Amino acid sequence: MARYELVKRSVALITLTNPPVNALSSPVRHAIAKSMERALSDPKVTAVVICGENGRFCGGADIREFAGPLRGPPLIPVLDAIEAGRKPVVAAIEGVALGGGFELALVCHYRIAHSKARLGLPEVTLGILPAAGGSQRLPRLIGIPAALELITTGRHISAQEALKLGIVDQVTDQNACEMAVEFALKSVGKPLSSRRVSMLTTPCPPDLDALLEAATMQVKKKARGVMAPLACIQAVRAAATMPFSKGMKRESELMTTLFNSGQAQAFQYCFFAQRTAGKWTLPSGAQWNNSKPREIRSAAVIGLGTMGRGIVVSLARVGISVIAVESEKKLLENGRQMVIGMLERDAKRRGVSASLNLLNFTLSLQDLKDVDLVIEAVFEDMALKKRVFQELSKVCRPTTLLCTNTSGLDVDALAGVTNRPHLVAGMHFFSPAHVMKLLEVVCGPRSSSETIATAMSLGKKMGKVSVAVGNCPGFVGNRMLKPYLDQATFLLEEGATPEQIDKALEDFGFAMGVFRMSDLAGLDVGWRVRKESGLTGPDVDSKNPPRRRQGHRYCPIPDMVCEQGRFGQKTGRGWYMYDKPGDTNAKPDPLIQNLLETYRSRYGIQPRNISDQEIIERCLFVLANEGFRILEDGMAARPEDIDVIYLFGYAFPRHRGGPMFYVSMVGLERVLERLEYYHQAHPDVPHLEPSALLKKLVACGSPPVQKWREYIKTMHSHL
């Protein structure tokens, strides 16, 4: 877990050896403590260098250990002993120094970093704070404003920035370990007291209170209801106002509170869920570690509308040459200008040059003969998409992968019109496609393992979090969204207002409630889908009983809003009103209140007071209930995949862990009981009926979410 060697006759070289990231597990902490004791007591040793094996200094605490009781030596005394030692200790930072790894570097007397190294205190992203002295030492080393920013955001910084801030003493392009040994030899005999960061006085700005207040306002606005950044600010205040030992006590108290809050568990669950999601499997036994992806050098995107443009940008910025196709000259020119503008802005932001030379624009599918992969993003119209796929099948070479960005149509039906159904899959991006991190990779029953491996790997290359899902209407994310949206509108019928529902969801942690979000996305999109699926329209409305469609309860209020030309922010009116089209500042609209009152009185609905608790339960329990059905149907492999989809595609608050983790924390028994209650009250809403899997899990004693997979015995697994 750590190797000890004597180099240059007098330098003890301690190498952390815990792949893949040299995390500070219990055996590693033990090995560091023992190695330091040995180095400090050996008269031959005049200096010490600490480094990590395989070019990675240290990725911090072993996060898996947070789930159990502390074993082995605690980290703080191990670190204190390094700092207090009478021989100079140099950290040789290659790869990463994160969290506890950064704190380990901070107790060393000198820090040498490789130019490609990245440093940071990402604890806040795990729902905790740097509690091995990081919150107390960093402000002493670099001052309050810089430390506050790094600790409250968890941002990773480059070696160059670390040098500028005074965190590292030297940056090198050569072997950092060898440089550190040379450096250590030169530092022998120099006084160490000024190198012990805990002994420094925190440089305290005169406007400390105002600074901390501004930081508090900022994190409250950015991360509603999240405790960790606020605790980080309090810890930094302690570093500014207390002696080191008292500050350490405060740091530990704050850590204990966070550890016991439930939020830390949610964040840590998210960390592992994100990594688990990449580990896809297919019923054939093919999976992530036994299937080889193809290399994609060239691609084509068909349709340069909202989605196509972002997809072109996502591909081009990772060096893939793209042919973009439109149906008309004017649309092609418009799309071209939009894509170039987006790529230029993106490149400027990242400080690189825009890869415009990778782009080609055309009106003819004939130009796609030689591309490795195609992503179709034309209108959501099955007949049109089938025509495009038939044409592609004729034009593209037989090995070209054909993917669709459909948000919910049958991918296998598209595969069926081609001469290569095994090379067809869904690549479902989220809007805006060059910004949103989620990619649902839709595995049709005939998609080959190579096709899925390639789509997943291309997603990763584009910086997306890719999740493999089965082929069912709406796939995973949009399939779950429908019952959630339905509940929100049913609550409007029953007496709630858009503002009240949004506030309840925003207090829960969503950055935007469902109605504000719908105004941003555009209400016409859903309206078109409802019209196309026969749920609304003059013909349908006149032939169906009011407030019922296809045998179930139906709320026509969203259609009525659209009929008034209220499509959301873009028209300056939607569920809210805006000063002008395109404005983002949503204000309650008396016309919507009127519409709701008239509607209720027309149907004889007596409005009632609806509590925030009911809003949260009905919207979110029904969301998770559909998630259980998706697991039963085998359309998602595990609850973690559903949570990742909601975290990255629908901005579910991370401190709640995702819909499935959230209900597991509420308690499955309680969720079942409330769904039964609401279903009894609304028997014409089938989505409220508790799913068989939820009932089964409760009957089996409500196991933790990580164990649900053992209980999901699907008849027809699609993944």
Ligand X SMILES: NC(=O)C1=CN([C@@H]2O[C@H](COP(=O)(O)OP(=O)(O)OC[C@H]3O[C@@H](n4cnc5c(N)ncnc54)[C@H](O)[C@@H]3O)[C@@H](O)[C@H]2O)C=CC1
Q: Which does 707 bind (CB under 5 to 8 A by kind): ligand X, ligand LJ3UWUTL, none?
A: none
Q: Which runs of consecutive H residues, i.e. helices, occur in 202-318?
A: 208-222, 228-241, 244-259, 263-277, 306-316
Q: Which residue in the set 93, 96, 378, 561 belongs to the binding site for ligand X (CB under 6 A)?
A: 378
Asked whether 486 and 480 are in contact (CB, 8 A), the reply is no
Enumerate residues 6+ apart whose C-beta is below 8 A from 565. 571, 573
Q: Which range in 149-157, 376-384, 504-512, 676-684 contacts ligand X by CB under 6 A?
A: 376-384
- Start-to-end C-alpha separation, the chain: 37
* 360 in contact with ligand X (CB under 6 A): no
308 binds ligand X (CB under 6 A): yes
Is residue 326 a contact residue for ligand X (CB under 6 A)?
Answer: yes
**Cα 39 from Cα 694, distance rounded (Å):** 57
Token reading at 369: 């003969």
* Residues contacting residue 661 through CB under 8 Å, at least 6 positions apart: 266, 269, 270, 273, 639, 643, 705
- Marked catalytic residue, from 123, 251, 376, 494: 123
Q: Residue 406 binds which entry of ligand X, ligand LJ3UWUTL, none, with Cβ cut-offs from 5 to 8 Å by kind? A: ligand X
Instruction: Give the footprint of ligand LJ3UWUTL on residues 463-492 (CB under 6 A).
Output: none
Asked whether position 520 contacts ligand X by CB under 6 A, the answer is no
**Among the listed residues 91, 112, 131, 492, the single contact to ligand LJ3UWUTL using CB under 6 A:** 131
Specify whether 344 is catalytic. no
Token duo for residue 496: 């709630």
Contact with ligand X (CB under 6 A) among 72, 73, 305, 445: 305
Among 60, 134, 154, 303, binds ligand X (CB under 6 A): 303
Residue 704, class by beta-carbon neighbours within 10 Å (0-12 exposed, 13-18 middle, 19+ buried)? exposed
Q: Is 328 assigned a catalytic role?
A: no
CA dihedral (533, 538, 540, 545) positive or negative? positive
| Distance from the Cα of residue 14 to its chain's centroid | 35
CB of 426 to ligand X, least distance (A): 10
- As given in the structure block, the two tokens for residue 272 are 């592992």
Size of residue set near ligand LJ3UWUTL by CB under 6 A: 26
The residue within the footprint of ligand X, chosen from 190, 341, 379, 533 (CB under 6 A), is 379
In the shown chain, the binding pattern of residues 407 to 446 toward ligand X, with x for contact by CB under 6 A and - for none, equals x--------------------xxxx---------------
**Which of 375, 147, 374 minimizes the C-alpha distance to 247?**
147
C-beta of 135 vs 497, nearer to ligand LJ3UWUTL: 135
- Of the residues 83, 94, 103, 376, only one is catalytic, namely 103
CB of 527 to ligand X, least distance (A): 13
Q: What does 431 bind: ligand LJ3UWUTL, ligand X, none (CB cut-off 5 to 8 Å by kind)?
A: ligand X
Burial of 311 per CB tally in 10 Å (0-12, 13-18, 19+)? buried
Sites for ligand X among residues 380-399 (CB under 6 A): 380, 384, 388
6 contact partners, CB below 8 Å, separation of at least 6? 12, 13, 44, 45
Nearer to ligand X, 89 or 388 (CB): 388
Q: Is residue 445 packed enough to be buried (19+ CB in 10 Å), middle (13-18) or exposed (0-12)?
A: middle
CB 235 within 8 A of CB 136: yes
Regarding 325 and contact with ligand X (CB under 6 A), the answer is yes
Minimum Å gap between C-beta 110 and ligand LJ3UWUTL is 21
* Type of residue at 505: L
Q: Which is nearer to ligand X, 179 or 302 (CB)?
A: 302
Q: Is residue 377 involved in binding ligand X (CB under 6 A)? A: yes
CB of 271 to ligand LJ3UWUTL, least distance (A): 7
If the CB atoms of residues 228 and 371 are measured against ligand LJ3UWUTL, the closer one turns out to be 228
Alpha helices for 157-207 (secondary structure H): 159-165, 176-187
Q: Which two tokens stand for residue 197?
A: 């960061």
Distance, in Å, from the CA atom of 508 to the CA atom of 511, rounded to the nearest integer, reads 9
- Contacts with ligand LJ3UWUTL by CB under 6 A lie at 20-21, 23, 59-64, 75-76, 96, 98-100, 122-123, 126, 131-132, 252, 255-256, 259, 272, 275
**Residues with a known catalytic role:** 103, 123
- Contacts with ligand X by CB under 6 A lie at 302-308, 325-327, 331, 377-380, 384, 388, 405-407, 428-431
